Amino acid sequence: MYLLKQVNNTHLFHNSKSLAIKMPRWHPAILLALASLQLACTLLLLASEQGGRARRFLAALFTSEEDGPFDYSHPVDVYTNLSAGLENMGGKSIGDQVFLSPCPVVSPLLLGPISVQLSGPVNLSIVSRRNPWVLPGGRHSPPRCKARHSCAVVIPHRNREPHLAFLLYHLHPVLQRQQLHYAIYVIQQAGNQTFNRAKLMNVGFKEAMRDEEWDCIFFHDVDLIPENDRNLYICADGPKHMAAAMDKFGYKMPYKNYFGGVSGLTPEQYLKMNGFPNSYWGWGGEDDDIANRVLLAGMKISRPSIRLGRYKMIKHKHDAGNAANPNRFTMLAQTRRIWRLEGMNTLNYRRLSREQQPLYTNITVDIGPSERAPARRLHG
């Protein structure tokens, strides 16, 4: 399909070249005078009191819808009219997916900036009550139209139940507003070994794909809450880094190829880069390794604008069992040599349990003792 699109685009390009329109010849001085006149008129119009509409029109011409403008000083409650919105979407009969027509290209349920509630009593039973449309295992499909996109959201986890409740409180309604067919997978690392975020994400990919051929797999930190429901959990041409602007970094990228927090890949993109590394035990570096893999596999990172890709991080103390990984610098220097040899193709783990909870599929895994990094082993 992708190849087909490429071929079609090239074809169109060649066609458009051959469609050159014959223009009359004007004296350059006349052209210059006309252009100056037009510029003067435009400036006059924009400066005038009635210029508001013209300014908005020009802004709409030069910024895409996804860039806003968004007013983050007046966010909206993410549950605003949610159930009514889902019920009133037209279509034939609830649950009978076969006879439903496709959902609109742009969901009419989207709100833009949403308020992030990080105080007050939020627990899983409250989240369940607020999300009557979510099925066991944390699955959902729009009730009145056929979703155009599907995604699995993988959340690596250990001992962060309060954060998980806050995340699900916001994420479920966001995904429903986006009219996606989706499921949420929480991958719990058993035991007290050092945490291994990237390996848990590899496990999540494999476990999610056992259920369904998802269009897109998202890898989501448990402590990052989306601030705009127009930041779509849909894959892009290149591996997508969703969390372009986090409050903790002053809503900008901390550095150019940052790939941490929340990202989404198609199964093809993920397999092309041999998944993620299994050997980063403890905090840091694994996201940079993943970014390197994207580039080494010949792909480009795709990212929403920093106006759209906003996330709030839940403040917390440093995790026990997730000390900074002292090997990360040497390991990162080895990605180029290692990425094909280590990743999805060397993943091994033992699944201890898999249950359908009301809000997510809960998978507990033994991912083994922390090995030494293969980069170092290969070194000698």
Judged by CB under 6 A, which of 134, 168, 328, 374 binds ligand BGN?
328
Beta bridge partners of 155: 186
Judged by CB under 6 A, which of 254, 316, 341, 350 binds ligand BGN?
254
Coil, strand, or helix at residue 251? coil
Cα 48 to Cα 40: distance, rounded to the nearest angstrom: 12
Closest separation between CB of residue 261 and ligand BGN, Å? 8
Q: Please, which residue, 122 or 242, has the CB nearer to ligand BGN?
A: 242
Q: Please, which residue, 287 or 342, has the CB nearer to ligand BGN?
A: 287
Backbone angles phi, psi at 141, to 5 degrees: -135, 145
- Judged by CB under 6 A, the number of residues near ligand BGN is 9
* 289 near ligand BGN, rule: CB under 6 A: no
Half-sphere exposure of 98 (CA within 13 A, CB side): 0
Closest separation between CB of residue 379 and ligand BGN, Å? 18
Stretch that binds ligand BGN, among 105-113, 169-177, 280-288, 294-302 (CB under 6 A): 280-288
Task: Give the chain's largest Cα–Cα span.
Answer: 80
Q: Which of 295, 239, 273 is nearest to 341 (CA)?
A: 273
Judged by CB under 6 A, which of 207, 215, 223, 288 binds ligand BGN?
288
At which residue do the structure tokens 């930190």 appear?
221
Closest separation between CB of residue 312 and ligand BGN, Å? 15
Judged by CB under 6 A, which of 223, 229, 287, 342 binds ligand BGN?
287
Closest separation between CB of residue 285 and ligand BGN, Å? 4
Q: How far is CA 365 from the centre of its chain?
A: 24
Closest separation between CB of residue 241 and ligand BGN, Å? 11
* 157 near ligand BGN, rule: CB under 6 A: no
Q: Helix/strand/coil (H, E, C) string of 207-221?
A: HHHHHCCCCEEEEEC
Chain residues 174-203 in contact with ligand BGN, contact rule CB under 6 A: none
Cα 219 to Cα 155: distance, rounded to the nearest angstrom: 6
Rg (CA), the chain: 24
At which residue do the structure tokens 């929480």 appear?
186
- Cβ burial, residue 260 (10 Å; 0-12/13-18/19+): buried
* 260 near ligand BGN, rule: CB under 6 A: yes
Binding site for ligand BGN (CB under 6 A): 254, 260, 284-285, 287-288, 328-329, 332
